Structure 1
Amino acid sequence: MEWVDVDAVLFDLDGVLTPTAEVHMRAWKELFTSVLESLPDDSGADRSPYTDQDYFRHVDGRPRYEGVEAFLRSRGIDLPHGTPDDPPEAQTVCGLGNRKNVVFNELLDAEGIEAYPGSVRVLDDLAGRGTEVAVVTSSRNGPHVLRTSGLADRFEVVVDGGVAAEKGLRGKPEPDTYAYAAELLGVPVERCAVVEDAESGVRAGAAGGFGLVVGVDRGVGADVLREAGADVVVTDLAELLDGQTG
């Protein structure tokens, strides 16, 4: 299937439409650096510094608490899971996830966010062709990011982490959230394109039988995205309009 043939495009948000992935990365780094520094020397855990590769391997694209669990597991750190109501100070998986969310929103409110110009060009082109669009994000901050970036009025369908929890949908790399967005739009998955910058999100698109999976390489690596199932990989969505896809 070619880009121009799809009836609907399902976009991830952070790193695809907006550079909020960078804000998320900073918030995660602040959180996990503090966690590692608080561990005693005799904890037996891997206390080596948190890096961007930790983000891409364990956190990128996953629901927040799953990302916390994956990173802690990689370092041999065992904490109780807790509940989503845990305060940010709690030493639980959910508490750490909630603490990261506080940091993220503080950064977003202080600095704001603007959509990628190339992504806006694509949204304008799709609107002109009457193609349906939706946002599918693991983050519960999706509506906040869309409002802050000025994109909220472009999307009637937004499937975020809160919707996924309410509907009992499995997170990426499972295809459930993307399939649910296609269902809300009334478009068969084989007529939809999925646009993702995370390996887990690309795997979700490939697993769900979607007509086209576009990988956006914002740092994870083009080869990684292709191996995960991307049909096309770009570094900027405007390449889809300019015929520079690869």
Structure 2
Amino acid sequence: MTGPSAVVFDTDGVLLDSAPLHAAAWKTAFDGCLDSWAQTGSGSRRPPFDADGEYRELLDGKPRYDGALAWLSVRAVDLPPGAPGDPPGCGTVWAVAARKEQAFNRMLDTGAVQAFADVAPALRVLRTQGVRCAAASASRHARPLLEAAGLLNLFDTVVDGTDAARLGLAGKPDPALFLEASARLGVEPQDAAVVEDALAGVDAGRRGGFRLVVGIDRAGNPDAANALVERGADVVAADLLAAVEMVCGARP
């Protein structure tokens, strides 16, 4: 049996060092609403957003609305859905999601998101092995950020949040985003690998029937690595070069 002939990479936290910005933007969005929610009857003022554990468990890798709804549900904050055009605020789920987007855009204005140093070398190794590569992300920022980091030309295709909205692709842990990427590569899921750092992402890779699901734990956190395995990762790598070795090692 041959190994994967294509790899679908998550973007935030795998290719780009943008996960801390997303977590910080969510913290700005949620913590800024705590007093408002308490005053309007959504309960007493709750603890601040946990930009580590709560971000990783509830938000990482998900579309903005899905992530906002997941956190609000866990925190028992009952808000109406609202509409995608809601301005940033605290009164609807879409408004909270817009508040996060506003905070994230402000952070981007202060400096570019950097690619991890191991990304370009790892992608070049795959190219020499004849492995096709795709980047996939629920974020509408993914394509321009990859271009700004000088990585866009190293991928055969990119599926981002704009594509997901246009095609009506469900967010992770639904595998739709990854399945679209593998379809664009002309490869069946059982002949492809997924590389992810998010719990929802490895779950999506497993649900999609991908040959190999590689979790990334750059922080070297045993608990985080175990959680990735529990949610669907076949193996966990410390960085992208190690992940690529695992993919190439599965080849004849």
TM-score if structure 2 supplies the norm length? 0.89
Alignment check: 8 A CA contact 2:38 2:44 kept:
no
Give the aligned partner of residue 232 of structure 1: 235
Which amino acid in 1 is paired with 2:184?
L
Q: CA deviation at 1:57?
A: 2.0
Q: Return the letter of the residue paired with 1:47.
A: R
Match of 1:40? Answer: 38
1:239 maps to amino acid: A
Which is worse superposed, 44-53 or 71-80? 44-53
Question: Taking every aligned residue pair, what percent have the same amino acid on both sides?
Answer: 43
Is contact 2:37-2:90 (8 Å) kept?
no
Could you tell me how far 1:197 is from its partner in structure 2?
0.3
Deviations for 1:218-244, whole angstroms, at most 9, x for unmatched residues? 45700000111111101211223567x
Given candidates 5, 9, 12, the residue that maps to 2:10 is 12
Work out the number of aligned pairs and report it: 242
Write out aligned runs for 1:200-215 (5 A): 200-215=200-215
Q: CA 1:125–1:39 in structure 2 vs 1: closer, same or farther (change >3 Å)?
A: same
1:1-246 aligned at under 5 Å gives the runs 5-40=3-38, 43-45=42-44, 47-51=46-50, 52-89=52-89, 91-218=91-218, 221-240=224-243
Distance 1:242 1:129, change over 3 A: closer
Amino acid at match of 1:61: G
The one-letter amino acid of 2:178's match is Y
> CA offset at residue 207 of structure 1?
0.9
CA distance in structure 2 between the partners assigned to 1:186 and 1:218 by the alignment = 30
CA deviation string 1:194-222 (max 9, x = no partner): 00000110011011111110000145700
Q: 1:189 to 1:38 in 2, by over 3 A?
A: same
Deviates more, 1:67-76 or 1:163-172: 163-172
Aligned amino acid, residue 35 of structure 1: C
Partner of 1:39, secondary structure, is helix
Q: C-alpha displacement at 1:46, in angstroms?
A: 5.8
Query: Alpha carbon RMSD of aligned pairs, Å?
Result: 2.0
| 8 Å contact from structure 1 (residues 39, 47) kept in 2 | no
Distance 2:245 2:214 in 1: 15
How far apart are the structure 2 equivalents of 1:30 and 1:218? 24
8 A contact 1:157–1:184 mirrored in 2: yes
Which deviates more from structure 2 when the two are superposed, residues 19-28 or residues 210-219? 210-219
4+ runs deviating over 4 angstroms: none
Q: What secondary structure, in the 3-state scheme, does the structure 1 residue paired with 2:110 have? A: helix
Please, what TM-score do these two structures have when normalized by structure 1?
A: 0.91
Deviates more, 1:187-196 or 1:80-89: 80-89
Point out where structure 2 has 5 or more consecutive residues left out of the alignment.
none
